[in-house]
Amino acid sequence: MLLTLGWENNQRVHGCLVHIDIINDKIWSQRDGTAYGMANELVNAGIPKNQIFLAFQPADIRQYTEFAVN
């Protein structure tokens, strides 16, 4: 998990930017609030696309992505 945390304009800031789980040796991206996409960063680091699930996408939509399908 990668969080934004702190204070801004006298308001508390606390939010999940990235949430990734490892389930059955596969990577499940639960939340991705980055501009480029953590899945792309994982691919650039050498992880095959068929090992990465975009869990934040509905299951019936995942088939149209370039990543693993549940």
Query: Residue 70 pLDDT > 90, yes or no?
Result: no
Section 31-60 average pLDDT: 94
Q: Determine the Cα–Cα distance for residues 62 and 70; give it in Å rounded to an integer.
A: 8
Rounded to 5 degrees, φ, ψ at 59 are -55, -35
What value does the mean pLDDT of the chain take? 94
Q: Determine the Cα–Cα distance for residues 29 and 22; give it in Å rounded to an integer.
A: 9
The whole-model pTM stands at 0.82
Domains annotated for the chain, with CATH where assigned, are 18-70 (3.30.310.110)
Q: Determine the Cα–Cα distance for residues 30 and 39; give it in Å rounded to an integer.
A: 11
